[in-house]
Structure formats: structure tokens, C-alpha cells
Structure 1
């Protein structure tokens, strides 16, 4: 199964993972955010629904993605571009979009402020 881990990480955590990968240690797919606030700003409930509808489904048009979530194409278009900008979605050469994972794992810890 092709799983991506979404996490809140410090720059040091990302550097540690990079160095481990450079030593040949498998790291798996990761998409990191610098704060929980940034993660929630990008991953709104509607964008989560879009990712859920696209998980494991292969490339599709924005119109198809909108149909799957039962939303207006224009509104989904804006969410798709936000997810593309954040590196969560990819665009194929033919213009279709893809969330290239079969599963999502979310990993972050809340600590006393």
C-alpha cells in the first residue's frame, strides 16, 4: 500500500529524515507542515473530503473530482489549486490531477504550551 504521512515537523526533524534517507534508510512518503495551524489552514474540511474522494483513485479531471464530492466545479477548482500549491496533489501531463496515495496517515503531537 502506498501511504503518505502528513505531519507537523520542525526543520530539524525534516533534516534528520533527509539525512537518514541519504544513508539509504527508507523513510516513506512524507508531507510536512511547520505548524498545526498551517496544516489546518491548508487541509480544510472540504479539502479533506476531496483528498478522501481521490485517495487510491488515480488521475482524474477537476470536473470528475467535483462530481465525486458533490460540489461546484469552480469551488473545487480553488481547492485543487490550494492542494497543488501545498504539494498534496500532482498534475499529470494531460492536465488531470492525482493524489498518488492509497492511504493517509496523520501524525502530530499536541503539547503543553
Structure 2
């Protein structure tokens, strides 16, 4: 893991040799989501006695109430005690294991699976060891999925896969739509955590996307 920081700049952590064990997000409202990820790293980070790194956050309007892995990370973010704090989510995700730029060493994560799952479903997945190492984004209901993932927003996600950071105008040109409605769709996708901010704009850090509504009872 390479940690680079300089005064006044966002912190970039490139998890080049980390193994993804768990990545789960769930929409809570059209303005918020829960984020939980666990990585196995080759060696303990400074300030940590184990080979694991996690991030846990509840994000509302792009601001995270979050917990971090080590005292060092809390010092980096400018927050000491208590460890639970509120910071801009792009800063939080950078210091907790997402490379935000298509730079040397950047590579997309696996296919993102989008499904319908309640909190009880997610807990059951954890207990059964399902979706380990697989990025999953869950909506609590079919209505929530249908409201958030309009055809135009799905088209944005599909167009951005495997491309790294892009400016919003680049996304607009890519999907061949006017800038203003694309900007509004991107803002909505950021708020629910399906797109992340990057130094050069926004990023959909996955190689592909799969929307799974195979359980018809949950789509009712």
C-alpha cells in the first residue's frame, strides 16, 4: 500500500496489493447510503496490529459520519478522538482505500452487483459468507431501485465502467446528452454512492455492472 500526502492536498491511498474481502453499500434514502468495506493488506498499517483495513460510513449529502482503521488515519484526516467523525466523503474514501484517479497502478474493481436486499438480508449474507470479495450495492425495495436507477442513470454507469476518473463534461459527451441533465443525474448517483468523486471529476470504479432482481418476491 502506498500512502502519499502533502499539505492542503487530498490523501491518496493506492491499494495495489490489497485483497478485497467485503464491499457493501446500501441506499438509505435518495440522499444517503451506508458504506462498509474490508480489505486484507500485505502488512499491518502503522498504528494497526492486524493485516486488515476497513471503512465504515453513513453518508448524507456527500458528508460521512465514519470510523477508520488506525490512529494514523484519524490524524491524517485532522480528527483525533473520538474516531467517529464527519468529513467530506471523497476525502474519507481516499484515505480508506479507493484510488480516485486513473493513474499508474489504478485498476477497476470487479463487476458491481446491484440487488434488492433488506438489512436482515445483508446480515444473513454476512453470516452465510455470501458475496465475499464481490462488490455489492443494495436497494431496500424495488421501488427505491426503480426511483434511483432511471434508464439515463443506468446508461451513465454502463458508459463509465472501466474508464477511471472523468470530468462531468466528458461523461456528457460519452452518453451524448446535454450537460445540465447529465450533471443532475451524476449528482444523484453520487448522493447514493453509485458514483464516487475523483480528483479529475467522478469515477465508477468497476469493470462492469450487473443488476440482479432475480428474487421476484422482493420486486413486488
TM-score scaled to structure 2, two decimals? 0.46
User: In 1, distance between residues paired with 2:171 and 2:191?
Assistant: 17
Which stretches in structure 2 are left out of the alignment for 5+ residues? 1-108
RMSD: 2.0
Runs of 4+ in 1 over 4 A off after TM superposition: none
* Aligned counterpart for 1:17 among listed residues 125, 128, 134: 125
Greater length-normalized contact order (CA 8 Å, ≥ 6 residues apart): 1
Q: 1:6 corresponds to which residue?
A: 114
Higher radius of gyration, 1 or 2? 2
Aligned residues: 109
Q: 1:100 corresponds to which residue?
A: 205
Is the 8 Å Cα contact of residues 56 and 102 (structure 1) preserved in structure 2?
A: yes
- Higher strand residue share: 2
TM-score scaled to structure 1, two decimals? 0.86
Q: 1:42 corresponds to which residue?
A: 148
Q: 2:91 corresponds to which residue?
A: none
User: In 1, distance between residues paired with 2:174 and 2:126?
Assistant: 36
- Higher helix residue share: 1
User: In 2, distance between residues paired with 1:63 and 1:105?
Assistant: 25
Which stretches in structure 1 are left out of the alignment for 5+ residues? none
